[in-house]
A and B are shown apart, each in its own frame.
Chain A
Amino acid sequence: MLTVVLFTAVKMMAQDDPVSVLNKINVQMEAVSKRYVVYQSVVAHSDNLRKAEKRRQEMMNQVTTARQSLAEIPYYKGDRMLHQAFGEYLKLVEYNLNEDYAKMVNMKEIAEQSYDKMEAYMLLKDKVSEKMRMAGEKLDSVQRTYCKKYDIKLVEEQKSELSRQLEKISEVSKYEDKLYLIFFKCNVIEGDLLESLDKKNVNATEQLRSSLKSFAEEGSAILDTLKGYRGDNTLVTACRRSMEYYKKAADKYADFTGFFTKEANFNRLKQQFEGDKDMRKDKAALDKYNNAVKEMNDGIGQYNNTNDYLNKYRSETIDFWNNAVKQFLDRHIPVAD
């Protein structure tokens, strides 16, 4: 969710104070951006979680340093415009890095506007991205206003390497997000479904089963319209494969709920049989009961087989997806250190 913008590159046309203020701030901004690119690079190209965490921490420290430095940069003619905008922006970057979203967006409003935790997550993601985007735009517009006010001429230079890297990270993330969302919906529903299966809750399981099926079908339909990222179909393929799994699983879960209804029926029968002495002595009834026991045992065997099959299929699917994401990011996120 984290994207960082950079000030428009400035060519100094005047040598007086307003420019020096702008430059000093820009130096801090660049330092933060560089740390961000390094952090993203490690996430994309390394399996080392500790290393990634270390880079995150370094970026955090950089943000803190930037905020401290900002306090030391004097205002030009008491004008706080730039300081305020940059300060606010840094605060948001910090919250975002710490996943402290409650300080960025109105969580209560999100809870009210979204129907369930899945929608809440998606809405949160949207709102945080939107917040960062707007903060970036504001920073840019304040900078322009500042320049205009003090007659500083902004010249659009060729993009710096850092700018290009930031843009690339943003573009790749957006593409990955789009596909992740398709996967995410099914993944959440299946998680809920597994929980309800654990509780032998047929009502919830059956509802979620139908939901899983329709999300997987909807996902497949979206995938049909999506192209690879610059010719790279890794994510589309992996996502399509996961949709195939979810469709298949949605059908297979019916075996479990079917089993629960049979199990309830058998328990009723068992109670009746065990509570009735005459029935236990009756050969025909005994045969029927033993037959029911055998059927029940067969049912349990099938249940276990299906369960093993789905567990294996699920973990393969999720591994495949995770690997695909990894490969994709490795291929497209710029390397930086």
Chain B
Amino acid sequence: MRSLLLLCCCISAAVYGQKSVAEKAFNISAIAAKYHVSPRAVNDSFAVQVFRSFMDQIDPYTIYFTQQEYQQLQTAAVGIDEDITRQSTVFLQTISKQYFLVRKKAVQQMQSLLSKPFSFSAKTYFTTNSEADAGKYIDEPQLQRMKAYLQWRVLTALSDLLPEDSTHLSPAFVQQHIGEAQRSVQSTIEKRYAQLAADSVKMARWLEETYLNAIATAYDPHTEYFSNEAYDEFEAGLSSESMAFGFGLEPNSEGNLLITSVMPGSAAWKSSNIHEGDMIIAMKPEGEKTVSVANATPEELNALFERYADKTVEFTIKAADGTTRVVKLKKQAIRNEENVVRGWILDGQPRLGFISLPSFYTQTNDGIGTSCAEDVAREIVKLKQEKIDGLVLDLRFNGGGSIEEAAAMLGIFIDIGPLGVVKVYSGRTEPIKDVNRGTIYDGPLVVMVNGASASASEMLAATLQDYRKAVIVGSTTFGKATMQVVVPLEANFDFEKYAPDSKQSDATKDFLKITMGKLYRVNGKTAQNTGVVPDVYLPDYFEAAQFTERSYVTALPADSISVQLPYRALSEKYSRHTFKAFEQSSVANDPEFVQLKNTVRLQQLTNALNRVPLMLSEYNLWQNDEWGDTQETTSAKKGNAQSPYAVANTRLDAAYNAMDSYQKENDDMIMNELMEDAWLRQVYLLFKNVLIKTNQ
């Protein structure tokens, strides 16, 4: 989740406010030394880490700097640790001066390369760094790399031009569209450069912020620096226009706009089909043509959102796991509704309740929004009135949020007892407790997870697993078991005297999101790096992507603490053997999962190579391995789905829908998707063939 916080950066040889950068860098190291849960020494290896992370942000494909220039910078970077401790900015000044020049040179080189039509007949590749090698120089002549990079961009642009039902780039199609594709790539590059060059102050600030963030993330991937401006963005997460659809966007290092937040209660939230980490590649307003937005700037996208006010828009979304899908959203004002979680009935024998939770949202300090634990509790009350035999809580794609909410939600299922342990910077450990005695739901329970279930989701799944209150189904979770606090970046900061609200009042401050705590399970083990291993395994596309905590170079290692907490696990109701047998009989024979496993295997192979083939025939094969099968799977799913259950609204929701046609339409869409969800189908079969049976 490396992200570039500001897109518009501009080039200047003049360096802006270096003294304060030096102070800020020092303050980051001082606060981290005192309050980071496992602080590291600011020494040579720290300097190397900061350098790599910085380079990965400012030249992610190593196409701007030549090898010689890179090596010179690498030599200068050895002094970063001294820069930090002595409050100087020798390295930053060196690199800032050069960066403007190399970007200027690069845009000219790219224009020249793009002026001639590309051919894709040679067996060449565009190689990228693996996550572990991020920021290292790739040993190829710079111009050759730049050309390969452009060829890849042009191939991507050509793929975007393909009609919706096709994934294959034929030589004739390439011949016909190569000019258009190259012009589009060139225009994007020029546009980005123009933005960069237009404001020297902003440019310098961007480099400073990237440098400061490289220092912060050297401690661990979740310690981050926020300038005041970026902090506001972090807090708001949304621009006013995209907000109407209910998602927040931020550009990644390639300039693609990724969804970074989904607002509870919004159209995007209600669709249940937009997740953090998704990328918008196209949008089709009702009655209009599809517009490709894969390379759009935030400003362009906002202009589009504005233009299509009050229209229903079909978004083409590319998920972090590589699959694509179309989601229909109608722009609407977000109401401050009392409940934004929805419960569904999976009707059949057995009759199950289903609740999907995309994030652990909480009420803000200003009292805005609702508590997700409360919302889930209310849905469970509704579902219990519907006489369900079992309950499914879906935490797939749930990237976490408030730990307090996760604890309050655990209270629904656990009578009384510890829910986990937090170890904070001082080394002190404290149990997280279930605040209320009693339980609301005591029946058979499945929690669904995947590789994008992180943090608070993992705590919830782990605790229910340790208490044997739920069967965890899906694939191994992300592996983030740390807690962060946002504090002002100031000299002599004292956390013990810090009142969180003060950060709102001081508009001139910068902030540090710092990893202050580690989370442990009630048995003293951790989900850090290892994730929560499900009881019943279902394959997932995420397994091919390098999208786990441990893929970050600076991820904190897994450890354990010795605790003796008075938690009472239920007796083992289902044996490992029963689950294995279910996997072997039900999952292994499901054609969708057979195909999926195959796709994942191929993707893993191609991903491991970290290269994109540039020869057309090979590119088409690679594309097919990369996305083709998944698309086939998706379409196969739509056609052949034989759902063992029907999906229904609760009586209260059905009564409401009788008066809200948009909600009804939206619900119908969700209900269809739930019927076609291969993972949910297996969960249902697990209830039918194992859990309910054993219970009886």
Q: Is B385 engaged at the interface, CB distance under 8 Å to the other chain? A: yes
CB-based contact B338/A264 at 8 Å: yes
1/0 per position for A265-296, CB-CB distance to B under 8 A? 10111011100000100000100110010000
Q: Is A331 engaged at the interface, CB distance under 8 Å to the other chain? A: no
Q: How many chain B residues have a CB neighbour from A under 8 Å?
A: 35
| Distance of A206 Cα from B439 Cα, bound (Å) | 7
| Distance of A116 Cα from B660 Cα, bound (Å) | 45
Q: Is B251 engaged at the interface, CB distance under 8 Å to the other chain? A: no
- Among B339, B373, B659, point to the contact of A279 (Cβ < 8 A): B659
CB-based contact B655/A207 at 8 Å: no
Q: Which residues of A contact B382 (CB under 8 A)?
A: 261
Q: Which residues of A contact B338 (CB under 8 A)?
A: 264, 267-268
| Distance of A268 Cα from B336 Cα, bound (Å) | 9
Which of chain A's residues 246-273 have a Cβ closer than 8 Å to chain B?
257-258, 260-262, 264-265, 267-269, 271-273
Known: A203-B408, A206-B381. A289 touches B437 (CB 8 A): no
Q: Which residues of B contact A209 (CB under 8 A)?
A: 438
Which of chain B's residues 412-444 have a Cβ closer than 8 Å to chain A?
412, 415-417, 433, 435-440, 442
- Among B335, B378, B408, B433, point to the contact of A115 (Cβ < 8 A): B433
- Among B381, B435, B439, point to the contact of A257 (Cβ < 8 A): B381
CB-based contact A207/B381 at 8 Å: no
CB-based contact A207/B438 at 8 Å: yes
Shortest beta-carbon distance from B357 to chain A in Å:
14
| Distance of A115 Cα from B432 Cα, bound (Å) | 11
CB-based contact B439/A269 at 8 Å: no
28 interchain pairs, CB-CB under 8 A: A116-B433, A189-B438, A202-B377, A203-B374, A203-B412, A206-B377, A206-B440, A207-B411, A207-B437, A207-B438, A207-B440, A208-B436, A210-B442, A211-B415, A211-B438, A212-B438, A261-B378, A261-B382, A262-B652, A264-B337, A264-B378, A265-B655, A268-B339, A272-B656, A272-B660, A272-B663, A273-B659, A288-B659
Shortest beta-carbon distance from A210 to chain B in Å:
4
Which of chain A's residues 283-316 have a Cβ closer than 8 Å to chain B?
285, 288-289, 292
| Distance of A207 Cα from B335 Cα, bound (Å) | 29
Q: Is A122 engaged at the interface, CB distance under 8 Å to the other chain? A: no
Known: A189-B437, A203-B440, A272-B659. A260 touches B411 (CB 8 A): no
CB-based contact B439/A258 at 8 Å: no
CB-based contact B373/A203 at 8 Å: yes
Residue among A211, A212, A265 with most chain B CB within 10 A: A265
| Distance of A279 Cα from B656 Cα, bound (Å) | 13
Q: Which residues of B contact A61 (CB under 8 A)?
A: none
Q: Is B499 engaged at the interface, CB distance under 8 Å to the other chain? A: no
Residue among B373, B652, B659 with most chain A CB within 10 A: B659
- Among A192, A257, A264, A288, point to the contact of B436 (Cβ < 8 A): A192
Shortest beta-carbon distance from B456 to chain A in Å:
16
CB-based contact B659/A289 at 8 Å: yes
Q: Is A141 engaged at the interface, CB distance under 8 Å to the other chain? A: no
Please list the residues of chain B having a beta carbon within 8 angstroms of any beta carbon in chain A.
335, 337-339, 371, 373-374, 376-378, 381-382, 385, 408, 411-412, 415-417, 433, 435-440, 442, 652-653, 655-656, 658-660, 663
Q: Which residues of A contact B437 (CB under 8 A)?
A: 116, 189, 207-208, 211
| Distance of A289 Cα from B658 Cα, bound (Å) | 10
Q: Which residues of A contact B339 (CB under 8 A)?
A: 264, 268
CB-based contact A204/B652 at 8 Å: no
Known: A202-B374, A261-B382. A207 touches B436 (CB 8 A): yes
Shortest beta-carbon distance from A174 to chain B in Å:
26
Q: Is A69 engaged at the interface, CB distance under 8 Å to the other chain? A: no
Q: Which residues of B contact A262 (CB under 8 A)?
A: 652
CB-based contact A285/B335 at 8 Å: no
**Shortest 6 CB-CB distances between A and B: which pairs?**
A211-B438, A203-B377, A207-B438, A211-B437, A210-B438, A264-B338
- Among A115, A258, A267, A273, point to the contact of B416 (Cβ < 8 A): A115
- Select from chain A the residue with minimum beta-carbon distance to B418: A115
Shortest beta-carbon distance from B568 to chain A in Å:
12
- Select from chain B the residue with minimum beta-carbon distance to A262: B652
Q: Which residues of B contact A269 (CB under 8 A)?
A: 656, 659-660
CB-based contact A258/B381 at 8 Å: yes
CB-based contact B415/A202 at 8 Å: no
Q: Is A201 engaged at the interface, CB distance under 8 Å to the other chain? A: yes
| Distance of A151 Cα from B420 Cα, bound (Å) | 61
Which of chain A's residues 223-253 have a Cβ closer than 8 Å to chain B?
none
CB-based contact B436/A204 at 8 Å: yes
Which of chain A's residues 193-217 have a Cβ closer than 8 Å to chain B?
196, 201-204, 206-212, 214
| Distance of A201 Cα from B655 Cα, bound (Å) | 23
Shortest beta-carbon distance from A205 to chain B in Å:
9
Q: Which residues of B contact A273 (CB under 8 A)?
A: 659
- Select from chain A the residue with minimum beta-carbon distance to B408: A203
| Distance of A189 Cα from B438 Cα, bound (Å) | 10
Which of chain A's residues 152-205 have a Cβ closer than 8 Å to chain B?
189, 192, 196, 201-204
CB-based contact B374/A210 at 8 Å: no
Q: Which residues of B contact A210 (CB under 8 A)?
A: 415, 438-440, 442
CB-based contact B433/A265 at 8 Å: no
Known: A201-B374, A267-B338, A288-B659. A208 touches B438 (CB 8 A): yes
- Among A260, A267, A268, A288, point to the contact of B378 (Cβ < 8 A): A260
Shortest beta-carbon distance from B546 to chain A in Å:
38
Known: A207-B412, A261-B378. A271 touches B335 (CB 8 A): yes
Residue among B416, B435, B440 with most chain A CB within 10 A: B440
Shortest beta-carbon distance from A208 to chain B in Å:
5
Shortest beta-carbon distance from B519 to chain A in Å:
20
Beyond contacts A207-B439, A261-B382, A288-B659: 9 other A-B pairs, Cβ-Cβ < 8 A, are A204-B436, A208-B436, A208-B437, A210-B439, A261-B381, A267-B337, A268-B338, A269-B660, A279-B659
Q: Which residues of A contact B658 (CB under 8 A)?
A: 288
Shortest beta-carbon distance from A284 to chain B in Å:
10
CB-based contact B659/A285 at 8 Å: yes
| Distance of A115 Cα from B411 Cα, bound (Å) | 14
- Select from chain A the residue with minimum beta-carbon distance to B371: A203
- Select from chain A the residue with minimum beta-carbon distance to B377: A203
| Distance of A257 Cα from B385 Cα, bound (Å) | 11
| Distance of A115 Cα from B663 Cα, bound (Å) | 44
Residue among B412, B416, B442, B655 with most chain A CB within 10 A: B655
CB-based contact A265/B659 at 8 Å: no
| Distance of A189 Cα from B437 Cα, bound (Å) | 8
Q: Which residues of B contact A289 (CB under 8 A)?
A: 659
Q: Which residues of B contact A192 (CB under 8 A)?
A: 436
Shortest beta-carbon distance from B340 to chain A in Å:
10
- Select from chain A the residue with minimum beta-carbon distance to B374: A203
Q: Which residues of A contact B656 (CB under 8 A)?
A: 265, 268-269, 272
Q: Which residues of B contact A208 (CB under 8 A)?
A: 436-438
| Distance of A184 Cα from B205 Cα, bound (Å) | 63
Q: Which residues of B contact A265 (CB under 8 A)?
A: 652-653, 655-656
Shortest beta-carbon distance from B392 to chain A in Å:
19
| Distance of A188 Cα from B645 Cα, bound (Å) | 44
Shortest beta-carbon distance from A242 to chain B in Å:
18
| Distance of A257 Cα from B382 Cα, bound (Å) | 10
Q: Which residues of A contact B337 (CB under 8 A)?
A: 264, 267-268, 271
CB-based contact A202/B439 at 8 Å: no
Q: Which residues of B contact A288 (CB under 8 A)?
A: 658-659
Q: Which residues of B contact A272 (CB under 8 A)?
A: 656, 659-660, 663
CB-based contact A203/B436 at 8 Å: yes
| Distance of A204 Cα from B408 Cα, bound (Å) | 9
- Select from chain B the residue with minimum beta-carbon distance to A250: B438
Q: Which residues of B contact A189 (CB under 8 A)?
A: 437-438
Shortest beta-carbon distance from B419 to chain A in Å:
12
Shortest beta-carbon distance from B534 to chain A in Å:
26
Shortest beta-carbon distance from B77 to chain A in Å:
49
Residue among B337, B416, B436 with most chain A CB within 10 A: B436
Shortest beta-carbon distance from A28 to chain B in Å:
45
Q: Which residues of B contact A279 (CB under 8 A)?
A: 659
Q: Which residues of B contact A203 (CB under 8 A)?
A: 371, 373-374, 376-378, 408, 411-412, 436, 440
